[in-house]
Amino acid sequence: MNTIPAATLERITWSYRTKPLFKDLNIQFDQGAFITIVGPNGSGKTTLLRHLLGMLRAEGAVVHLFDRPLRSYSQRELAKKVSYVPQQNKMDYDFTVQECVAMGRYAHSSRLSLLTEEDNHRIQQAIEEVELSHVKDRIATELSGGEYQRMLIARALAQQAQFIVLDEPVSHLDIHNQREILSLLKKLVDQNIATVLCVLHDLNAVSAFSDIVCMMKDGVLVAQGTVQEVLTQERIESVYRIEVNITEDPQTQRPIITPCWIR
């Protein structure tokens, strides 16, 4: 594992208007891992990502991306390093899949220039990687939820970012498509192509895919570690306020979490 973290956030204190959320939050994300952020609605997951990406800036905070302070990056430099897939990011424009994926190349090309052979090669490669070649000329808004999400990942691949940050990328997908997308992201990590940081709600998907889990509650990082360390019965019950049973997957030795829906 690379010793320089993908990102470090120190001393984040943040309120929305008068409502305090983070008080001196510190968190580090190592490179080369599939990292998930979990926690109940409103615990601060999206806000944390916004601080990491420089969309929000807290006074007195220090945010590093790889070996440099975040504020030293130009927009273009940032786009080469990090790719962000926000929640429910459906565009209203009539761009084709190929054109949407091509947007990932803009950080690499000079302003207003045509796409180079290298750009086109990267775009086609990314589309093939996510298995969307058969719909590459289709208008993106006409894709299914799973295809659309794959297209956003293709855009991130074309961008060649070392760090891919996704906010609930599979929340609206069926379990087959959830597995496809998460497996694709995991493959990027396993092949040392990118570090993946991903907000997820399904704790069983978190358990199956994460190298590191960060659990948040009320703006506090309550735990960070392996799935076995973080996804304990006691912690899940207290953070989510629901009883759960935990067993071990005999194949992977990872926890399987079963909420007690009815009691």
| 188 in Cβ contact with 194 (< 8 Å) | yes
CB closer to ligand ADP out of 13 and 96: 13
CB closer to ligand ADP out of 38 and 188: 38
User: Interaction with ligand ADP in 89-148: which residues (CB under 6 A)?
Assistant: none
State the minimum distance, in angstroms, from the CB of residue 50 to ligand ADP. 8
State the minimum distance, in angstroms, from the CB of residue 10 to ligand ADP. 19
Alpha-carbon gap, residue 252 to 263, rounded angstroms: 29
Q: Who contacts 112 (Cβ-Cβ below 8 Å, separation ≥6)?
A: none
Alpha-carbon gap, residue 157 to 169, rounded angstroms: 15
Alpha-carbon gap, residue 148 to 172, rounded angstroms: 11
State the minimum distance, in angstroms, from the CB of residue 221 to ligand ADP. 12
State the minimum distance, in angstroms, from the CB of residue 41 to ligand ADP. 5
State the minimum distance, in angstroms, from the CB of residue 71 to ligand ADP. 21
Q: How far is CA 142 from CA 90, 94, 119, 146, 227, in A?
A: 10, 9, 25, 11, 37
CB closer to ligand ADP out of 23 and 76: 23
* Residues 39/208/255/230 CA torsion (nearest 10 deg): -40
Strand order in the sheet with 62-65: 19-29, 7-16, 62-65, 68-69
Q: What is the distance of C-alpha 68 from the center of its chain?
A: 21
Alpha-carbon gap, residue 242 to 240, rounded angstroms: 6
207 binding ligand ADP? (CB under 6 A): no
CB closer to ligand ADP out of 35 and 127: 35
State the minimum distance, in angstroms, from the CB of residue 36 to ligand ADP. 13
State the minimum distance, in angstroms, from the CB of residue 206 to ligand ADP. 14
247 binding ligand ADP? (CB under 6 A): no
Q: Per-residue x/- mask for ligand ADP, residues 30 to 69, rule CB under 6 A?
A: ---------x-xxxxxxx----------------------
- Give the number of residues in contact with ligand ADP, rule: CB under 6 A: 10
Alpha-helix residue ranges (DSSP H) falling in the chain: 45-52, 75-81, 97-102, 117-129, 145-159, 175-190, 203-209, 227-230, 233-240
CB closer to ligand ADP out of 129 and 168: 168
224 binding ligand ADP? (CB under 6 A): no
Q: Per-residue x/- mask for ligand ADP, residues 7 to 36, rule CB under 6 A?
A: ---------x----x---------------
CB closer to ligand ADP out of 193 and 220: 220
For ligand ADP, the binding residues (CB under 6 A) are 16, 21, 39, 41-47
